[in-house]
Chain A
Amino acid sequence: MRKIDFTILIPAIFLVVMGTSQIISYTSGRMLLAHFAALGGGFAGMFIFSLTKYKVFIRFRAITLYVLGILLLLAVLSFGRTVRGSCSWLNIGIVVFQPSELVKFTTIIFLTYYFSRNYIDRGSPRTVFFTVLFGALPLALVLKQPDVGTAMVFLFIIFVFLYFSQNINFLMFLVISGGIVLIEIIYFCLYPAGTWSLYLAGAAFFAVLYLLMRFLLRIKKAHVLVLSLGSLFVLSLLFSWKVTSMLKPYQKNRILNFIKPSRDTLNSGYHLSQSLITIGSGKLTGKGYRMGSQARLGFLPGKYTDFIFASIAEEFGFLGVLLILISYFVLYLRIIKISMLAIDQQGTFLTLAIFAILFFQTVLNIGMTLGIMPITGLPLPFVSYGGTALVVYLSMLGIVMNVGATAEGW
């Protein structure tokens, strides 16, 4: 241990302390004990991984870990514990933990391994296919629990590795089709059976497109192009319709609430409006530690889990939030910097993927409490209550430290 990366350690400790400040307020007994145990485990993991040579670790452990992760997910589905509608907890005697958090880590390690091996071929359909497949496998299992939030993280992991392939056209296609599917899902939330006007408008659009291509641009095989585009569109419609029909009513409500927050402030919009009141009432300097009426008196749901950011904002005000955001910002900038300094592809891909996972969840969680992202139920990294996530994310930071230390020479 020649070099401890304080630029990573200090923000991480600060975030963990802020989270713990709220968790102490609202939990006690076994729950609180579990949190401190996870803290110990997390920093131990960070320490161990910062000393483990990531190159060796990835080369010899990636496949094993990935397979183990998939098996864990299968185990959860077979004899997991169901909490609040989703079956994502596994009891292995000593501890109860959330394998999906662990599998985030194993999956990026494995994808890093796979992707850096095939880096020369990175744009080829074969690499893309397998990248998607390896990502989609845990995604499907998580979706089965069902845990839509975590599934979205896996979706994002796939996207990140496709991003590494540097295929601009393919990425554009992904982003545009993703956007179209999203719009279609929102549409089907609004009109579950679809509307005739949509189908007519679609048909008319493709008809006009065909006429334009054929007679204005004088493309001879216009019908082939238009037909394939049209069938893609129809496929996307079917896909979104299927996805929407799989959503639970409360999930549809969340999507609709995000589009129109004033839609239903009493029932499904209650979380968001209370979250905004909680954050806003903290004002510049906050109500003071242990003085947050919104969280304390039960107006804020998930005060130490999904909405812990609001709890902190209420008690510590804008200044506290500023410190939190600065911590995240410094931490993430440092990870990106290390990814630039990394001496090999594994180092770069791994740190970038870690950054992506943490950043994605941070933005989604904070954005959710602020009403600029839909409510997804993702925890806030390092801050929210949740032992498995804490251990995993702190360990991730350990690996990042190791990559950085390797780049700067032991």
Chain B
Amino acid sequence: MWYKDRGWDLFIKYIKFARFILILSFTLILSRVFQIQVFKGYRFSKKSQENYLKKFIIAPKRGNMVSSDGEILATTYVSYNLVSQSPPTDSILEELSSITGVPVKKMKQNICEAQRKKEILVTLANDLKGRPLIAVASRIDEYPDLRIIKAPKRFYPYEKIFSHVTGYLGEPTKSEISEMPYSYTGSLHGQSGIEKTYDKYLFGKAGGEIVEVTASGNIVEVKGSVPPSSGDEVRLTVDSRLQRAAFEAFNGRPGAAIALNPKTGAIRLLVSSPGFKPSVFVDRSEEVARLMTAPEIPLVNRAIQMKYPPGSAFKIITSAAALSEGCIKTDTQFECDGIFEYADREFKCWKEEGHGIMDFMQGFANSCNIYFYNVGLKTGGENLSKYAKMMGLDLNVFEDISGELESTIPGPAWKKKKLKRGWWNGDSINMAIGQGFLWVTPMQMALVVSGLATRGVIYKPYIVEKVISAENDIEYASKPEIAREYKLSDRTFELLKKAMRKTVLEGTGRILDIKDYEIYGKTGTAQNPNGEDHGWFVSYGGGALSDFCLVVVVEHGGMGSVSAGPIARIVWDEYIKIKADAGQEKVNEKN
């Protein structure tokens, strides 16, 4: 040791200091490694898994919707999408564009979106069919990064006709997602109609694939996969022939029609016009924006989401109230000269020259307003309100399609609470003919009519018969449920029935006078501040047709007998034809 001999022993301190630095830095490194690998190891190993294990969702096949006569209303078919594991070069994009017909710009948009969402697969072209599909498939080997994958796609064979029954699909909002544990990023769910209310049955269960990827996104191997399971089939009570007949009878005019079986509550048709094409929401086409803002509000289901004044159709309830409470008798007569004056105000009859002297039956059948002004005065707002509620106008029991509106049924108590004003006789006069503050949905009117047909039993309306799983298990089956039961004397029911029959035979409802068949009806022409009157036609059948009642509203259609009547006639004719065909089939079977 040279430094000791020559008196340079100070140098040893420098070496020892170097050793100290060595120990210090290794302690530091060791503690840092310990911190990262032992303390934070779990967190980092999760991060490393996120790096290389990616999950692919395999979309399930959404269940079908089938009408009562076995027609498919909504189904899912296999579509072919062209995807890429990495963003292709511009020259490849141009080639692909020429093969598939998808513009390069659109593909680039898709690439940007996929990168923003950090997806590993970029969808370049959706729903390839026919020639382009074959062309791409035959050349797929030339592009190692490209794949054609199968993806389920929703299809609505009846498009507009059943649009408000089936509803449409879309991406749910954040709060909706929290209620749908089966959803996944980008999954489509019902936004309206049956698609929405029965989403959890229809959706099925998503499958998945866990794949190992490299840093540049290439798939190394599939680590595991779970196949998706298809959604359940939903069988509806609606009949496609009735639905089509009614929808086409509207011919695009706004309005709604509902028919149901009064004995069960099963809905046989539910039309809201104008319709829309539910498939545009799946394609996310530009049509969506137009539908959202169109002035004719095609997305609103007018059968349950639109309120109209019932007009003269309400006279059924006015009559029921007046007869039950003994305010009038069938032979009570009033004179109609076209104008009714009360407290310095004039109330007109729809027939300017007047109907002359009439009893109850004549007044009802001719829908004479002045007769019913008098009835209303005698009966009073209290009774009108009570009977309107009792007979089902206040019901909100339809659950199969969401969004049903509540009706507005005025009355002395209601007016005091809402408008802070007293009820006066003019209100009773207005209410007696279904005007004034009275607003109801077609569905509520349909329930009132069904109650008449069954003499006081209103069944809860339903449109889903049952839900059947892919394994043929019944997941859900509806059964008739009584929503409201009320008592009126048999005589009152009989009188109303007679009056409605007289309307069909001699009065405003003559369009439903069908030979050999017994149909009861009432028209309505509701004045409204926004323009032309709304036309109503409510009806139910007797005898062989006792399982059918129908309500038709034509928005701004004018007189009920002229606008709604013909539509009702078409539907009744169709129903009679269906009945006859079914009968014929039975006869054939027996033979």
> A residues bordering B, Cβ < 8 Å?
163-164, 166, 276-284, 293-294, 297-299, 313, 317-318, 321-322, 325, 328-329, 332-333, 336, 339-345, 348, 352, 355-356, 359, 363, 366-367, 370, 372
For B32, give the chain A residue with the smallest CB separation: A370
B51 touching A341 by the CB < 8 A rule?
A: no
For A346, give the chain B residue with the smallest CB separation: B2
- A121 shortest CB reach to chain B, Å: 13
Contacts A281-B48, A340-B1 given: A325-B29 contact, CB under 8 Å? yes
> Would you mind naming 17 contact pairs between A and B with Cβ atoms under 8 Å apart?
A279-B33, A279-B37, A281-B48, A284-B41, A293-B52, A297-B52, A297-B213, A297-B215, A297-B220, A298-B216, A299-B52, A325-B29, A325-B30, A325-B33, A333-B22, A336-B22, A344-B2
Q: Which residues of B contact A344 (CB under 8 A)?
A: 2
B14 touching A325 by the CB < 8 A rule?
A: no
A284 touching B37 by the CB < 8 A rule?
A: yes
Q: Which residues of B contact A341 (CB under 8 A)?
A: 1
A277 touching B2 by the CB < 8 A rule?
A: no
B22 in complex: contacting residue of A164, A297, A313, A332, CB < 8 Å: A332
For B5, give the chain A residue with the smallest CB separation: A343
A164 touching B14 by the CB < 8 A rule?
A: yes
Given contacts A163-B14, A281-B44, A281-B48, 18 further A-B contacts (CB under 8 A): A164-B14, A166-B11, A166-B14, A277-B47, A280-B44, A281-B41, A282-B37, A294-B51, A298-B214, A299-B51, A313-B33, A321-B37, A336-B19, A341-B1, A348-B15, A366-B29, A370-B29, A370-B32
- B115 shortest CB reach to chain A, Å: 12
B214 touching A297 by the CB < 8 A rule?
A: yes
Q: Which residues of B contact A355 (CB under 8 A)?
A: 18
For A339, give the chain B residue with the smallest CB separation: B15
Q: How far is the CA of A348 from the CA of B52 in the complex (A)?
A: 50
Interface majority SS (helix, strand, loop, mixed), chain A: helix
Q: How far is the CA of A277 from the CA of B40 in the complex (A)?
A: 10
Contacts A329-B26, A342-B2, A344-B2 given: A336-B15 contact, CB under 8 Å? yes
For A324, give the chain B residue with the smallest CB separation: B33
Q: How far is the CA of A367 from the CA of B19 in the complex (A)?
A: 18
B51 in complex: contacting residue of A277, A366, A367, CB < 8 Å: A277
A280 touching B14 by the CB < 8 A rule?
A: no
Q: Which residues of A contact B214 (CB under 8 A)?
A: 297-298
Q: How far is the CA of A340 from the CA of B3 in the complex (A)?
A: 9
Q: How far is the CA of A345 from the CA of B28 in the complex (A)?
A: 31
Q: How far is the CA of A287 from the CA of B401 in the complex (A)?
A: 54
Q: Which residues of A contact B78 (CB under 8 A)?
A: none
Contacts A297-B52, A332-B22, A343-B2 given: A317-B14 contact, CB under 8 Å? no
Interface residues on B, range: 35 or more
> What does the 1/0 interface line of B1-42 toward A look like (CB < 8 Å)?
111000000111011001100100110111011101110111
B10 touching A166 by the CB < 8 A rule?
A: yes
| Interface residue? B43 (CB, 8 A) | yes
B33 touching A370 by the CB < 8 A rule?
A: yes
- B86 shortest CB reach to chain A, Å: 13
Q: How far is the CA of A317 from the CA of B3 in the complex (A)?
A: 43
For B216, give the chain A residue with the smallest CB separation: A298
- B20 shortest CB reach to chain A, Å: 10
Q: How far is the CA of A382 from the CA of B45 in the complex (A)?
A: 28
Q: Which residues of B contact A370 (CB under 8 A)?
A: 29, 32-33, 36
A363 touching B48 by the CB < 8 A rule?
A: no
Q: Which of A276, A284, A294, A356 has the most CB of B within 10 A?
A: A294
Q: Which residues of A contact B52 (CB under 8 A)?
A: 293-294, 297, 299
Q: Which of B22, B30, B34, B214 has the most CB of A within 10 A?
A: B22
For A300, give the chain B residue with the smallest CB separation: B215
Q: Which residues of B contact A329 (CB under 8 A)?
A: 22, 26
Contacts A280-B41, A352-B15, A363-B25 given: A318-B2 contact, CB under 8 Å? no
- B219 shortest CB reach to chain A, Å: 11
B2 in complex: contacting residue of A348, A359, A363, CB < 8 Å: A348
B48 touching A293 by the CB < 8 A rule?
A: yes
Q: Which residues of B contact A321 (CB under 8 A)?
A: 33, 37
Q: Which residues of A contact B3 (CB under 8 A)?
A: 345, 348
Q: How far is the CA of A381 from the CA of B11 in the complex (A)?
A: 27
> What does the 1/0 interface line of B87-106 toward A look like (CB < 8 Å)?
00000000000000000000
Q: Which of A276, A313, A340 has the most CB of B within 10 A?
A: A340
Q: How far is the CA of A105 from the CA of B212 in the complex (A)?
A: 45
A283 in complex: contacting residue of B10, B29, B41, B216, CB < 8 Å: B41
Q: Which residues of B contact A297 (CB under 8 A)?
A: 51-52, 212-215, 220
Q: Which residues of B contact A345 (CB under 8 A)?
A: 2-3
A280 touching B43 by the CB < 8 A rule?
A: yes
Q: Which of A284, A293, A313 has the most CB of B within 10 A?
A: A293
Q: How far is the CA of A281 from the CA of B1 in the complex (A)?
A: 48
Q: How far is the CA of A367 from the CA of B215 in the complex (A)?
A: 24
B15 in complex: contacting residue of A279, A281, A340, A372, CB < 8 Å: A340
B18 touching A336 by the CB < 8 A rule?
A: yes
A328 in complex: contacting residue of B14, B19, B26, B44, CB < 8 Å: B26
- B81 shortest CB reach to chain A, Å: 26
Q: How far is the CA of A166 from the CA of B18 in the complex (A)?
A: 13
- By Cβ-Cβ distance, the 6 closest A-B pairs, closest first, are A280-B44, A283-B41, A298-B215, A281-B48, A281-B45, A318-B37
